[in-house]
A and B are shown apart, each in its own frame.
Chain A
């Protein structure tokens, strides 16, 4: 790139090869055969985090289920913060997308008559979650990846790490990326860019998320002028394995698993989630929403009714009564993970679990077509916030979200690219700037600070200040510490002098992204002086629709500071009401 030119030019460049990115790429290839499409990803597409999703994907198909009910479950699950126009569209399009994946070979679990089977899931009033045993994300991702191979005209940049979006006059024109294999810094021009870079669980120390979930796309968009929306809403999943944080899917409870405290008592009955029954009841007890279940755990800790483990307090997930046959048919991966990582067999033993950071409801602000306020820049999947998830995502809504909005963003980007012009000269200068920054501020410098030390401090700061329960002072203190960490980040250098596959450089770039995302989480968390869904402020314990039935958008100012703006929630037909579970 040293000549300041572009390595390549495409009509549309998709960043990310997970569920959202591959769906977007296929939609683009289908939209217009002459469109020049490329997919760039920091890992090979089938390594993307979508591969870890276990439980399933929601879509109305079963007899007796209705679109209205899925919409209502999602809206009430979101604590009325989801945009209802987006949710209606999502629920309407999800079944077609899941069917399309069936046609593309996804091995959905079946009923005896050959129709696709559905299972129960938390917060859902009907059984509507499609599943491929308990490796749904794995099978969806491989079906998408293998189907995408049909489109051999889609260029792939595997193991390229995007470091910057090139934006001029409010329009995106391409990216700068590091080709990891060689360490070369490259600029790639594109008329439109679709961000599908996934979540940011690595902001926290204890998470179900993969190592690569570092919020890169959120940070890239934020710096490029697109605001981040609803960032205070971080989902804790109630059942992670201690130490590793490996997820035990909600499907384990949907199939009939119980949560027990140290006395063997199904404690959820004490938290307005219904009364225990031996078989699962929809929208009740263990099938309540994740925010409420994780909060109940904290109260059990306070009451001294949890067990101690070397990795903090735990409760038990009891699957024993399901028996080996059901577990092997419906939850084989759960059994494998417990045996491998906890050395216990859920068929005969209790599984130790605790809440674990799992999903980011917030993300890059988009409209229903995935368009961000930066012209030509689209976002879809976990990195985006349309929003359908509001203050609390329902399990199994996120995989179909990747498909529905990945496809929509792809189609919209195709249309945009058809009318957009080539990159102006100023953009090449920007690319050269970015190359200089990487060369001199990171690679060419000894540095006095270490990536891993700053990362560990950031993670513990976030857990302390923005966990399941937060307060104004805890968030403010966290923000102060983060500001210090940002200063230390400026003194980081990359000790590794080798250019090829320099994972220390990658870690430094990821940490810079994590810090910006963390800052936005605290910034909006401070601003939202109420408790709603996953955002629980003990200093403002009630939901306050009067003041806060609104999204918060964090914008980055040119001087690096942030500004928070409000955006009303779109209400179509469902007036905000009480969230009722188990009664």
Chain B
């Protein structure tokens, strides 16, 4: 194999609920190859050293969102994180924070899966036009308006980085709010009001204290913090209206 420059240590968090009483660490030495990602190193361990190490992955090209882990203290996609950037090591690999650990590097993201439908991330229209009438026209500028927020791969790095989600599990969280904003900004959609009703509720957007960690760790430049900020403004405008106007006039 080309480009071999010695080895690098991986310090991997291990936990098997049915056999371990508490999480522990395991060290592995892996070849330090220029083109290897942390995911390649984990697969090397799994295939050649220790088949019991468990982690999720699939596309190995930064698009399926499966392989998020905490690498040296920061949530990252392991398929896009290169060993060489951490030389001489060792590299600490842990499951994403803020989620229950199922096993080794696998976390339980069911909370997000349950919350996502609450923000109604689909096109809502007063009247749906039939397919026979052709497409909804949308100019490139209209597309650009929401494009960024449509790039979310649900990798959960932002949830792992969010201090608020860590403390307040009822907070809807960055990616779900970004998706709500994605549909609000889509010229084909008329559901902004319904989504605001959901997000204005107690733990919707209000939990966020503008730490901005979510945007910093997002591998797809979605800017969830920006989405949350926009929602807060919308929500604030609504509550001002609520104070000034009788209910029927809102």
Contacts and interface: CB of A to CB of B under 8 A. Distances in A.
Interface of A: 43-44, 46-49, 51-52, 96, 99-100, 102-105, 107-116, 135, 138-139, 142, 146-147, 149-150, 152, 158, 181, 210-212, 243-244, 246, 310-311, 336-337, 340-341, 450-452, 495-504, 507
A336 B143 CA distance: 21
Given A138-B153, A147-B122, A114 B64 contact: no
A326 to B, nearest CB: 14
Contacts, number: 160
Nearest to B39: A211
B147 interface: yes
Nearest to B102: A501
Given A109-B143, A113-B137, A503-B54, A452 B59 contact: no
Contacts of A158: 113
A420 B49 CA distance: 49
Contact of B16 (A112, A451, A500): A500
B241 interface: no
Describe B's contact surface by its main secondary structure.
Answer: loop
A116 B113 CA distance: 31
A510 to B, nearest CB: 12
A518 B250 CA distance: 64
Given A210-B59, A500-B16, A503-B55, A105 B122 contact: yes
A502 B51 CA distance: 10
Interface string B172-211: 0000000100010010110000000000000000000000
Interface in B133-157: 134-140, 142-143, 146-147, 150-154
Interface in B84-119: 102-104, 106, 108-109, 113, 116-117
Nearest to A209: B59
Contacts of B151: 135
B17 interface: yes
A139 B63 CA distance: 11
A212 B66 CA distance: 11
8 contacts: A44-B154, A51-B64, A51-B65, A113-B137, A149-B116, A336-B62, A340-B62, A340-B80
B63 A51 contact: yes
Nearest to B135: A102
B135 A115 contact: yes
B22 interface: no
Contact of A310 (B2, B57, B106, B109): B2
A115 B19 contact: no
A51 B129 CA distance: 27
Nearest to B40: A244
Given A114-B137, A158-B113, A504-B52, A103 B2 contact: no
A575 to B, nearest CB: 34
B106 A501 contact: yes
Contacts of B63: 51-52, 135, 138
Contact of A47 (B58, B60, B131, B134): B58
B46 A503 contact: yes
9 cross-chain pairs, A with B, having the tightest CB-CB distances, nearest first = A114-B137, A310-B2, A452-B47, A498-B16, A501-B103, A496-B52, A149-B117, A146-B121, A105-B123
Contacts of A496: 51-52, 54
Contacts of A138: 63, 153
A110 B138 contact: yes
Contact of A110 (B56, B62, B140): B140
Contacts of A498: 16-19, 52, 103
A287 B109 CA distance: 43
Contacts of B126: none
Contact of A150 (B18, B103, B122, B137): B122
A502 B139 contact: no
Nearest to A148: B122
Nearest to B147: A107
Contacts of A111: 140
Contact of A500 (B18, B66, B134, B136): B18
Given A103-B128, A105-B186, A112 B139 contact: yes
B35 interface: yes
A147 B152 CA distance: 15
A283 to B, nearest CB: 27
Contacts of A44: 109, 113, 154
B61 interface: yes
Contacts of A107: 143, 146-147, 150, 186
B154 A46 contact: yes
Nearest to A499: B18
B196 to A, nearest CB: 18
A210 B143 CA distance: 29
Contacts of A503: 46, 54-55
Given A99-B131, A110-B138, A500-B16, A52 B59 contact: yes
Nearest to A455: B47
Contacts of B135: 99, 102-103, 108, 115-116
Given A110-B140, A115-B135, A105 B60 contact: no
Contacts of B137: 113-115
Nearest to B183: A105
Q: Which of B3, B61, B183, B188 has the most CB of A within 10 A?
A: B61
Contact of A181 (B55, B102, B131, B143): B102
A532 to B, nearest CB: 31
B58 A43 contact: yes
Nearest to A158: B113
Contacts of A96: 131
B51 A495 contact: yes
